[in-house]
Amino acid sequence: MVSPPNVANPSLPAEVLRALRSFRMIVRSIKQHFQQVQEATGVSGSQLWCLVTIQAQPGIRVTQLAQALGIQQATASNLVESLDRKGLIERRRDQRDQRVVSLFLSEAGARIAQSAPQPVAGILPDALGRLDPPALAQLNHLLEQVIGLMALQAPDGRDVPLADA
């Protein structure tokens, strides 16, 4: 059981400060990576991830794109709309069922996807993907504990791409 913070003594234990520094390094590194992506490509990190996913799965639908990125369908729709406005993707309706819309890269979108800085999904998903399964499971368990102890202001933020957080 974790005790509540000591309000009378505002200084934090060394291990708490160590964890805070680690979170700050992670957040700063993520922000820096996505700034570099934006500067190199002219699109946000989440837009780039969409482009690369569409490139890997030509004809993907918005619902499938949302699942592939681990985001809400409404968020994926907004990303698709912004990419369409920039002329980076093409939406094509199925000839047999006009309700079905498939996504493809335009030539400009393909150029951006091919020249994208790596890792495309971002440095945090890349690093998490390289952890061995028991370590990742332990990290998930610990993060869930931290989340449970926090009075979250935006608990539904779990489906927002890091580049847009």
Residue 165 domain flag = no
Residue 126 domain flag = yes
> pTM of the full predicted structure?
0.71
Over the stretch 104-142, which tens digit does the pLDDT of each residue have?
999 999 999 998 888 877 899 899 999 999 999 999 999
50's CB contacts (< 8 A; 6+ apart) are 65, 69, 76, 79, 80, 83, 89
Q: Is the pLDDT of residue 62 over 80?
A: yes
Question: What's the confidence (pLDDT) of residue 99?
Answer: 86
130 and 94, same structural domain?
no
Residue 7 domain flag = no
Residue 72 domain flag = yes
Residue 159 domain flag = no
Cβ(93)–Cβ(101) under 8 Å?
A: yes
Q: Is the pLDDT of residue 98 over 70?
A: yes
CATH code of 35's domain = 1.10.10.10
Tokens of 93: 């309706």
47 and 59, same structural domain?
yes
Domain that holds residue 136: 122-152
Instruction: Tell me how many domains the chain contains.
Output: 2
